Amino acid sequence: MTTIRQIAQQMTTFGKGILAADESIGTMSSRLKNAGVEPTALSRRDYRELLATAPDLAYGVSGIIFCDETLNQTFADGTPFPDACRARGILPGIKVDTGAKPCPGLPGETVTEGLDGLAERLAEYAKTGAAFAKWRAVFTITDNTPSRGSIVTNANALARYAAACQEAGLVPIVEPEVLMAGAHGIGRCTEVTAAVHQSVREQLALLNVDLAGIVLKPNMVTEGDDHPHPATPDEVAAATVDVLRSWPGDLAGVAFLSGGQPPQRATANLAAMQSYDTPWPLTFSFGRALVSPALAAWRGDEERIGDGQAALSAHVAANAAAVRMRGELQSV
Ligand code: 13P
């Protein structure tokens, strides 16, 4: 039997990243609408099938994260998504949180929910063929947030989710995301990301989560969207790796979210990270930075499926090339 640790290694294998195609029905529908596509279960299926069947996707992608709707859908030819992905050498994953909801007691802050009935749902997902899961906690930077309460509450939920996944035989992607919204500088993002990670580590340890059987999906450490001076890739890489250094060497791997950065910036930052000698791989688990160009090229037109796939492949190739630089940079 393949162990959790082996799956986590497959997910972060050298030169590959993870494709996040797990937008909720609501988010996916509004993105389709903005691209001029009528949002239906079928158009959402067609779009995810376009992504999963991009030629040679497995060269740069080890796994795809889906939402519940897609995991239970079939390709147009009737093959279930999980089987079709595995046949292409790609591991299927499932987003299992039910979203960030207002957190009682903490006005303006959120807690990610989805723990109720989680063990049962994970058992079903494992039967359906999922190899891994994802849970995203979000933290907003303002002058007085994230509060200690929101950090600890969300870190505890992430740890409960991670422990439940490991018991169900699924690798948890642990995603604490410090959002880019705001005018803060990179120093404040460093401080908040470090505090969040410390709490996540503490909570994972309290529930005996095996770090060699998780993939950490953090934000890159950057300035806020409204800050006037964007940090350079070298500055982002230095700040990000500095925060990550507190994670022990047995962590299976780190796969960054793109967080709304323009695709080229996310790729340049990822490339800059590769010159650091870290005990864990540093790869990508991008959503928007990979799929937005594909959606814009496709726009729901059957005749442009190839264009959509070409756009996805170009961005996957650029990020795979970025992480493959690690071998070259570190062998000199
Ligand atoms: P972005 O790369 O668009 O931030 O999405 C990654 C993701 O999985 C968010 O949960």
Place of tokens 């499926």: 305
Query: Quick count: other Cβ atoms within 10 Å of Cβ 118?
Result: 19
Task: Tell which one of 65, 288, 295 to mutate to probe ligand 1, the residue whose CB is within 8 A of the most ligand atoms.
Answer: 288
Pairing type for strands 171-178 and 100-102 reads unpaired
- pLDDT computed for residue 329 by the predictor: 75
Contact 270, 322 (CB under 8 A): yes
pTM for this entry: 0.98
Which tens digit of pLDDT belongs to each residue from 185-238? 999 999 999 999 999 999 999 999 999 999 999 999 999 999 999 999 999 999
Which of the listed residues 285, 295, 312 should we mutate to test ligand 1's pocket, taking the one with most ligand atoms within 8 A of CB?
Answer: 285
Please report the atom of ligand 1 found closest to the CA of residue 290: 2
What pLDDT was estimated at residue 328?
82
Q: What total of structural domains would you count in the chain?
A: 1
Kindly name the residue from 16, 95, 134, 217 that is annotated as catalytic: 217
Per-residue pLDDT of the chain (332 residues; tens, 9 = 90+): 789 999 999 999 999 999 999 999 999 999 999 999 999 999 999 999 999 999 999 999 999 999 999 999 999 999 999 999 999 999 999 999 999 999 999 999 999 999 999 999 999 999 999 999 999 999 999 999 999 999 999 999 999 999 999 999 999 999 999 999 999 999 999 999 999 999 999 999 999 999 999 999 999 999 999 999 999 999 999 999 999 999 999 999 999 999 999 999 999 999 999 999 999 999 999 999 999 999 999 999 999 999 999 999 999 999 999 999 997 877 65
User: CATH number of the domain that 106 lies in?
Assistant: 3.20.20.70
For the packed helices 288-298 and 263-273, what is the interaxial angle rounded to 10 degrees? Answer: 150
One of 23, 49, 109, 175 is an active-site residue; which one? 175
Rounded CA separation 90/84 (Å): 9
Domain that holds residue 301: 4-330
Nearest CA to 67 out of 41, 89, 90, 87 is that of 41
Residue 199 CA to residue 195 CA, distance in Å, equals 6
Ligand 1 shell residues, CB under 6 Å: 20, 136, 175, 257-259, 286-289
Q: How far is the CA of 289 from the centre of ligand 1 (A)?
A: 8
Active site residue 38: no
Instruction: Count the neighbouring beta carbons within 10 Å of the beta carbon of residue 14.
Output: 12
Q: Find the helix or strand (DSSP H, E) in which 306 lies.
A: helix 305-331
In the sheet that holds 253-256, the strands lie side by side as 17-20, 61-66, 91-95, 132-139, 171-178, 215-216, 253-256, 282-284
Helix axes 25-34, 41-52, angle to 10 degrees: 80
Euclidean distance between CA atoms 222 and 290, whole angstroms: 19
Q: Which of 154, 178, 257, 284 to mutate to test the pocket of ligand 1 (most atoms within 8 A of CB)?
A: 257
* 175 catalytic residue (yes or no): yes
User: Nearest residue CA, atom 1 of ligand 1?
Assistant: 287
Q: Whose CA is nearest to atom 4 of ligand 1?
A: 259
Protein residue with least CA distance to atom 10, ligand 1: 136
